[in-house]
Structure 1
Amino acid sequence: MKIQNAFRIGLVGTLGVGLGLLILTSLATLSTIITYIGAALFLALGLDPAMSWLERRGLPRWAAIIIVMTGVGLLVAALVLAVVPIIVDQVSQLVDELPRIVARVNSEDWIEALKEQFPQVPIDEINAQITSGLTDFFTNPDKLSELAGGVLQVAVAIGTGVFAVIIVFILMLYFAASLNTMKRATYQLVPASNRERFADLTEQITQSVGRYVLGQVSLAAVNGILSFIFLSIIRAPFPAVLAFIAFLLSLIPLVGTLTGSIIIVLVSLIPGLGSPLTALVAAIYYLVYMQVEAYVLSPRIMNRAVKVPGAIVVIAALAGGSLLGILGALIAIPVAASILLIIKQVVVPLQNER
């Protein structure tokens, strides 16, 4: 091989590696923006079925967008006005109760009860270590400064979250208004011979994603409303706060309802707030509810959204959560359904033709 050719190959290879690294670095740097775009597009697709329904009734696209967005805004405002004051009141009650809860936890009666129930566990040593750690924390200026820094970080995180919500909402408006235009522009990039098939697959995928979003929100709303009613009946501690947690976590497929149920049961066990009987009743209720959700509610609500085998649902949710966190877990199932649809309607027919 000539030296000039070797030099040329090495130069081209080095440039290729450098370009690849530049692309990966750019994607890592823009990961937050990409997440905002993905969340906004996902929400826009979730609202598109309602807009399309209004369009089929004769309304123009802009009027459908205004009606749907106004409805969503009124729903969110009503939820905020109805739930937030209750949550703020109950959180303030929880803060007021914390000293008494700590006092009950450190009481001799509670410690003796733990010793009787768990004789193999060194309760005295654990209590001494916790007490020593708390004393050192509150008497050490360095620890207090770390706490102040942590509070500042929490405030910054809250501000960043509010900014992210505003950005996602604005992007969602743009995507909802131009979704059909974006799809038509994408169709033009496909060869004319395959354009009709590509458009049909795209419409099926977007409809599945939209129905999935509406279905998941509906399941979460059912869980939140029933949780509030049930927790109020059994007089669980802070029912509005716990019901709101159940609603938020139920937006996460598979593990969301289970995680929210565990949190509610554990909160019901806190001395002075709940009782073992309340926690037991809550645990039984959520075990029954999860069966009803899995075999009655979910099939009825999600039967037209996505059709994915159970094993693939679990794998997709775990993979999506590992890659993109909560957003990844949310979009993993419709993405898996889209891949299965492409395999079924594109890959398999091509293999059968060979």
Structure 2
Amino acid sequence: MQGQTKITNAFQLGLLGGLGVLTAVVIGGAIQTLADIITYVAAAIFIALGLEPVVAKLESANLKRPVAILIVVLGLLGGLTALVWAILPPLASEGAKFIEKVPSVISGFGDLPLIVKLDNQLGGSISSAIASTSAFLSDSANWPKLVGGVVQVGMNIFNGFFAGLVILILSLYFMSSLNRFRDFLFGLVPASKREKFADIADQVATSVGRYVIGQFGIAALNATLSYIFMLIMGIPFAVVLAFIVLLLGLIPLVGNVTSSAIITLVALSVSPTTAIVAAAYCLIYMQIESYIISPKIMNKAVAVPGAVVVVAALSGGALLGVLGALVAIPVAASGILIIRQILMPHQDTK
């Protein structure tokens, strides 16, 4: 009888274990299927929290929340429209010229003394690779292949527009219903702990909002200074490159390095000396941003140790790509805040 009980218990344990594995597989498949939607929702929440400090500021000026949201949204759309209207014509013209000049920029890279020396040591393999790349890019028929063909290019443009529209609509919804969702969430917490939970949640939301505004401000400053520098140095496609700097500047760590490499490569089309000066400028600016500008702005938003910033940004980028890198730092800041205000006081009471 005892042996039969053990067999029954083992069978139940195996059945529960199998059901657990099956449930995990189903949940994993559902997350993979809904990956795009989850990304849209996360981006919309991120934007809504980023604009919340502005909405709250307008509410403090005795404006009703719907009116404050309308003003913020109209201001955002107006700013984006003005930006597109101002940069689209030069962006289109300079973008076409930039694409045409990419082969010559790559060829100029092979004329650098260091590259020539390495090429001689490697038996001409670098110059051969550069020549092949330049020949491939010189043929306009090959350009669609880089992005999957003409149809795929059109689909990517449509998908990007659709994703932006969905994120905008979701952002409006989250902004309008943020207080209701906040009250609902607080209602799920026991009354004895509700005040503490509300305080921490408000601090997390505030830190995320300040981070979004701060990161955009830093990226805009970088783009403006880079544009002025490129005009002074006579580097072509300054508008296109400044726009790239603005977009990549929103991505922690990797963004500045990538935009600096692009500017330096384009500067090669002017002269090797210009490229060296551009590389020096980018390096100096990155140091100033890392040790002066960013700490002054970001420490007011998210107080996160430098090592945690690096690990969080790399981990977020590896898990969720660009969006992961963007949200990783405020998520890390939220985790540190929760540890400091909940876990550490709890440990002190033991």
Structure 1 and Structure 2 fold alike (TM over 0.5): yes
Partner of residue 121, structure 1: 122
Residue-pair matches, total: 344
* 1:337–1:137 CA distance, 2 compared to 1 (3 A): closer
Alpha-carbon distance between aligned partners in 1 of 2:129 and 2:302, rounded to the nearest angstrom: 51
Deviation of 1:112 (Å) = 11
Deviation of 1:292 (Å) = 1.9
Partner of residue 83, structure 1: 87
Deviation of 1:352 (Å) = 1.1
Deviation of 1:135 (Å) = 7.8
Alpha-carbon distance between aligned partners in 2 of 1:92 and 1:47, rounded to the nearest angstrom: 35
Partner of residue 45, structure 1: 49
Deviation of 1:295 (Å) = 2.4
Partner of residue 223, structure 1: 222
Aligned-partner residue type, residue 64 of structure 1: A
**Residue from 312, 325, 329 that aligns with 2:325:** 329
| Helix, strand or coil at the partner of 2:184 | helix
Aligned-partner residue type, residue 247 of structure 2: L
Deviation of 1:252 (Å) = 0.7
Same amino acid, percent of matched pairs: 48
* 1:9–1:226 CA distance, 2 compared to 1 (3 A): same
Alpha-carbon distance between aligned partners in 1 of 2:224 and 2:34, rounded to the nearest angstrom: 38
| Helix, strand or coil at the partner of 1:119 | helix
Alpha-carbon distance between aligned partners in 2 of 1:228 and 1:164, rounded to the nearest angstrom: 29
Which shifted more, 148-157 or 184-193?
148-157
Deviation of 1:7 (Å) = 3.8
* 1:210–1:138 CA distance, 2 compared to 1 (3 A): closer
Alpha-carbon distance between aligned partners in 2 of 1:313 and 1:194, rounded to the nearest angstrom: 30
Alpha-carbon distance between aligned partners in 2 of 1:262 and 1:337, rounded to the nearest angstrom: 30
Q: Structure 2 stretches of 5 or more lacking a match?
A: none
Alpha-carbon distance between aligned partners in 1 of 2:346 and 2:45, rounded to the nearest angstrom: 31
CA contact (8 A) 1:261 1:283 kept: yes
Deviation of 1:178 (Å) = 0.7
Partner of residue 301, structure 1: 297
Instruction: Establish whether residue 245 from structure 1 lines up as the match of residue 244 from structure 2.
Output: yes
| Helix, strand or coil at the partner of 1:57 | coil
Alpha-carbon distance between aligned partners in 2 of 1:310 and 1:35, rounded to the nearest angstrom: 26
TM-score by length of 2: 0.89
| Helix, strand or coil at the partner of 1:258 | helix
What is the Cα-based RMSD across aligned positions, in Å? 3.0
CA contact (8 A) 1:115 1:121 kept: no
- CA deviation digits over 1:104-134, x for unaligned, max 9? 949xx969997578532322x5555666788
* 1:110–1:327 CA distance, 2 compared to 1 (3 A): closer
Deviation of 1:14 (Å) = 2.4
Deviation of 1:158 (Å) = 2.1
Listed as ranges, the matches of 1:1-354 within 5 Å are: 1-2=4-5, 3-97=7-101, 101=104, 105=107, 118-123=119-124, 127=127, 150-269=149-268, 273-354=269-350
Aligned-partner residue type, residue 182 of structure 1: F
Alpha-carbon distance between aligned partners in 2 of 1:51 and 1:18, rounded to the nearest angstrom: 45
* 1:149–1:207 CA distance, 2 compared to 1 (3 A): closer
* 1:11–1:130 CA distance, 2 compared to 1 (3 A): same
CA contact (8 A) 1:212 1:302 kept: yes
CA contact (8 A) 1:246 1:260 kept: yes
- CA deviation digits over 1:118-177, x for unaligned, max 9? 532322x555566678889999x9x99967953332332222111111111110010011
Q: Structure 1 stretches of 5 or more lacking a match?
A: none
- CA deviation digits over 1:328-353, x for unaligned, max 9? 11111111111111110000111111
Alpha-carbon distance between aligned partners in 2 of 1:178 and 1:220, rounded to the nearest angstrom: 29
Aligned-partner residue type, residue 23 of structure 1: I
Deviation of 1:293 (Å) = 1.2
* 1:89–1:183 CA distance, 2 compared to 1 (3 A): same
Which shifted more, 294-303 or 211-220?
294-303
TM-score by length of 1: 0.88
